[in-house]
């Protein structure tokens, strides 16, 4: 099967996300996959040219060695806001080109604007379109002034897609509230590579290299450092309550808006040895870092963006039998419920006290970790890919 993917993020630099894992595994199974992406961080990578050039990246893989994706990056005008307006024209041209030359059997969308274009053009050629929702997309638009318009476009996309898939039940409810007919919706959850993420990996060498003692309590977070991630509040608490939290170390891997603030905090004497900041690490090394932790955390603020989100990293934490402490987010609670390896706390600041109590009860710590592992064992990637293949086969047969 030939699959064309459209998204409004950088396929090369970002991730691996659900889209990378899924599409690379489909590629490894013999499906031919092409991705049209968008250089979302052109400000950082700009060569100085106002108009970028069309680029084609062959044999791209981030999650699966045997998965080989062709990534096509149409040109844009590298000016704030204008970049998105230029996308309307250059991505439309590229989608037409791929529909004519590549002749996909299916188009899968992960964005808003180019998904809208792809739906319109795919319908004209009678090619099925599947909308895969892993976020409430319009809430991620950086310019607040455009979010209302983005919501309208996203709503139209939901109504016009042949199938709308979501990564969890909370987001499925969101898609139906946005106009997707319930009979056209489904849930394809995050998958786990259990060969890579398992509880037998030894993290002691990572602890040694990072200067972490055996009696330290390590809280681990990886991912994009959003302002609402709660990490700044945790670091603040570590600095304010040195005596109470002297054994706790906060290990963070990633980049994002909070990076500069956290780096500045790390210069403070009271916290510099207990706040460990690392830039993005090779994906193959991530299991060792998770293993080095005692508890993994999702201390995000309870806002509209996070309301229905269940990040793929949470499944990877749980696969390695690590307890997860999360703020009480509706999507997380609906996905994992009670007594399944996730402990819910009322606010960000409560994460530290919860971790402290958990570490002092080693039996409970291990028990919660084992429950986490047991809960996600059904999320093997082979099953998830099979579920996706079944879903798209139904779309194609009904078309």
pLDDT value for 140: 85
* CATH 3.40.50.2000 correct for 204-377: yes
pLDDT value for 46: 63
Using one digit for the tens of pLDDT, what is the confidence trace for 130-154? Answer: 999 998 989 888 888 999 999 999 9
How many CB atoms sit inside 10 A of residue 183's CB?
7
Residue 95 has pLDDT above 90, yes or no: yes
Residue 34 has pLDDT above 80, yes or no: yes
**Mean pLDDT of all residues in 267-284:** 92
Asked if domains 2-191+381-398 and 204-377 share a fold, the reply is yes
How far apart, in Å, are the Cα atoms of 337 and each of 17, 33, 49, 152, 371?
24, 36, 50, 32, 12
Using one digit for the tens of pLDDT, what is the confidence trace for 363-386? Answer: 999 999 999 999 999 999 999 999
In whole angstroms, what is the distance from residue 21 CA to residue 167 CA? 13
3-state secondary structure of 70: strand
Residue 36 has pLDDT above 70, yes or no: yes
Where in the chain are the domains?
2-191+381-398, 204-377
Q: Are 380 and 190 in contact (CB under 8 A)?
A: no
Angle, nearest 10°, between helix axes 147-160 and 113-124? 30
For the chain, the average pLDDT equals: 93
pLDDT value for 397: 84
* CATH 3.40.190.10 correct for 2-191+381-398: no
C-alpha R_g of the chain: 22
Tell how far CA 158 is from the center of its chain: 20
Q: Is the pTM of this model over 0.85?
A: yes
User: Residue 398: which pLDDT band, with cuts at 50, 70 and 90?
Assistant: confident
Q: Are 290 and 260 in contact (CB under 8 A)?
A: no
Residue 23 has pLDDT above 80, yes or no: yes
């Amino acid at each position: 099967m030939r699959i064309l993917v459209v998204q409004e993020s950088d396929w090369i630099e970002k991730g691996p996300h659900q889209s990378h894992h899924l599409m690379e595994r489909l590629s490894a199974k013999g499906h031919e996959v092409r991705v049209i992406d968008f250089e979302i961080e052109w400000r950082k990578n700009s060569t100085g040219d106002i108009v970028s050039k069309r680029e084609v990246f062959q044999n791209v893989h981030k999650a699966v060695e045997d998965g080989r994706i062709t990534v096509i990056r149409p040109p844009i005008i590298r000016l704030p806001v204008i970049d998105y307006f230029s996308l309307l024209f250059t991505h439309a041209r590229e989608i037409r080109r791929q529909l004519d030359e590549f002749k996909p059997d299916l188009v899968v969308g992960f964005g808003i604007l180019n998904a809208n274009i792809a739906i319109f053009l795919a319908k004209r050629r009678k090619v099925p379109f599947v909308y895969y929702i892993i976020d409430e997309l319009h809430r991620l638009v950086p310019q607040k002034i455009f979010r209302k318009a983005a919501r309208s476009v996203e709503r139209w996309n939901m109504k016009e897609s042949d199938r709308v898939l979501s990564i969890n039940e909370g987001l499925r409810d969101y898609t139906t509230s946005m106009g997707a007919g319930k009979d056209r919706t489904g849930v394809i959850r995050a998958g786990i590579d259990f060969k890579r993420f398992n509880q037998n990996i030894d993290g002691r060498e990572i602890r040694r290299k990072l200067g972490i003692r055996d009696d330290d309590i390590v809280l681990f977070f990886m991912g994009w450092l959003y302002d609402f991630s709660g990490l700044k509040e945790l670091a603040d608490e570590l600095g304010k309550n040195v005596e109470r939290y002297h054994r706790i170390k906060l290990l963070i891997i990633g980049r994002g808006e909070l990076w500069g603030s956290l780096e500045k905090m790390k210069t403070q004497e009271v916290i510099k040895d207990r706040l460990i900041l690392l830039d993005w690490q090779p994906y193959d090394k991530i299991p060792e870092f998770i293993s080095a932790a005692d508890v993994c955390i999702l201390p995000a603020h309870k806002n509209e963006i996070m309301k229905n989100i269940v990040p793929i990293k949470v499944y990877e934490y749980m696969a390695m039998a690590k307890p997860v402490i999360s703020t009480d987010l509706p999507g997380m609670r609906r996905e994992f419920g009670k007594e399944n390896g996730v402990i819910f706390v009322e606010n960000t600041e409560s994460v530290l006290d919860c971790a402290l109590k958990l570490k002092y009860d080693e039996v409970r710590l291990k028990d919660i970790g084992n429950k986490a592992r047991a809960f996600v064992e059904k999320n093997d990637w082979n099953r998830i890919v099979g579920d996706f293949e079944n879903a798209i086969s139904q779309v194609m047969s009904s078309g």
